[in-house]
Amino acid sequence: MNKALLALEDGKVFEGRSFTGDCETVGEVVFNTSMAGYQEILTDPSYCGQMVTMTYPLIGNYGINPDDVESEKIQVKALLIREYHEIPSNWRADCSLASYLRAAGIPGIEGLDTRALTRHIRLKGAMKAALSTMDLCPDSLIEKAKSAPDMQGLDLVKEVSCKEPRVWEADRLVPINCSLSDFRWPENRGCFKVAAFDFGIKYNILRSLERRGCDVLVIPGATGQEEILKLEPDGIFLSNGPGDPSAVTYAVDNIKRLLGKKPIFGICLGHQLIGLALGGRTFKLKFGHRGGNQPVKNLITGRIEITAQNHGFCVEMSSLNNPGIELTHINLNDGTVEGLVHKEIPLFSVQYHPEASPGPHDSAYLFDRFIEMMELQRGRKNN
């Protein structure tokens, strides 16, 4: 194994070992508190531009399988862990974590003091870093970290969004092989037609919609509202994604024009974009919410839900002055906004991930709520 250095922009340096070969990269360092699901984390497009530190110490023990991916490729800049388990023990695994990372050219670093790194981020905030096995000069790496792109003001949707429309079919995305204006929905298949904006959409969102009888057309994040309305979908879904929501101005402009036209459900970045479209503001959290154990209170029912989350930005509730907007969910760790609903138009959103894979599944009911919203809207249209 090759010696590796991780240098943060504030001058803090951590030493580890690469279990994937020589490497050098820069990105924002964040941590995830999930005890399982590293394959889903690696392939979550919301992590584009970030190096992920796993707080759970033993990673790699159940290997990699072809079924648990959340996108077409690994999205993280690097995986930072305490101890790598080389030999997977899982009947579903078809390769090791190291070989999976190596094939994609993504660094895997073990031997890091991940507790110290996580504590440093909690105290100082998520920050830019440089990782290398080739440049082992701390001062040089610190300068590279400082020169890396800042997450604030960065539009990463353009990096992860699909270039052409695709349909979700047989557990994969299939090109439509025609222009959007020529697209026709499948006949006699799904109960509802959903146009899903791809800002970095996760596969399990598509699976969750499909299981509830939806035909899903995944469209590029910059698709115009006129093109979408011509498709006559029953509902519009706004996906998760990476980067600063305030930089995705084209999406905000489109959402503004879609408000009230069709039922809309937004998750994570989609939720933040809705907040901006409603006239609000977003801000960057100190170290973000990332993990499968975030407690959220549903203010409508009073129930507490354990949720999976992955976001570094948040909607500022005080900036939403529209009396038609209601706060529906809050994070119990820091009181930040976790969900919104509009009282006058068919629109709701949450900051967390109800499609969470491998879990928890406390919030899966939100997809049923979207179905109910489309049913109600269809009933009004028919009457």
Question: Annotated catalytic, 344?
Answer: no
337, pLDDT greater than 90: yes
CATH 3.40.50.880 fits 157-382, yes or no: yes
Predicted pLDDT of residue 1: 74
Per residue in 297-324, pLDDT tens? 999 999 999 999 999 999 999 999 889 9
Euclidean distance between CA atoms 302 and 329, whole angstroms? 9
For residue 118, which phi and psi values (nearest 5 degrees)? -65, -45
Tell me which fold the domain 2-147 belongs to: Glucose Oxidase; domain 1 (3.50.30)
Euclidean distance between CA atoms 59 and 236, whole angstroms? 37
Predicted pLDDT of residue 343: 95
Question: Annotated catalytic, 120?
Answer: no
356, pLDDT greater than 70: yes
State the sign of the Cα–Cα–Cα–Cα dihedral 213, 217, 221, 227.
negative
| DSSP-derived secondary structure for 56-125 | SSEESTT-B-TTS-SSSS---SEEE-SEE--S---TT--B-HHHHHHHHT--EEES--HHHHHHHHHHH-
Euclidean distance between CA atoms 162 and 149, whole angstroms? 23
Q: Which residue in the list 268, 289, 329, 338 is annotated as catalytic? A: 268
Predicted pLDDT of residue 189: 75
- Outline which parts of the chain fall under CATH 3.40.50.880: 157-382
pTM of the model: 0.96
Per residue in 47-98, pLDDT tens? 999 999 999 999 999 999 999 999 999 999 999 999 999 999 999 999 999 9
Read off the pLDDT band of 382 (50, 70, 90): low
Query: Largest Cα–Cα distance of the chain, in whole Å?
Result: 71
Question: Annotated catalytic, 353?
Answer: yes
Question: What single letter denotes the amino acid at residue 48?
Answer: C
142, pLDDT greater than 90: yes
State the sign of the Cα–Cα–Cα–Cα dihedral 274, 279, 284, 285.
negative
| DSSP-derived secondary structure for 328-355 | EEEETTT--EEEEEESSSSEEEESSBTT
Q: Which residue in the list 289, 329, 342, 353 is annotated as catalytic? A: 353
The SS3 call for residue 361 is coil
Please, which residues bridge with residue 281 across strands? 316
- Outline which parts of the chain fall under CATH 3.50.30.20: 2-147
Per-residue tokens: 42: 């690696």
Residue from 223, 219, 170, 174 nearest 193 by CA: 219
Predicted pLDDT of residue 57: 96
Euclidean distance between CA atoms 22 and 2, whole angstroms? 7
Beta-sheet strand order (sheet of 304-316):
172-175, 166-169, 214-220, 192-198, 235-238, 264-267, 347-350, 337-342, 325-331, 281-298, 304-316
Predicted pLDDT of residue 383: 59
Per residue in 191-223, pLDDT tens? 899 999 999 999 999 999 999 999 999 999 999
Average pLDDT value for residue range 255-266: 97
Q: Which residue in the list 28, 40, 110, 355 is annotated as catalytic? A: 355
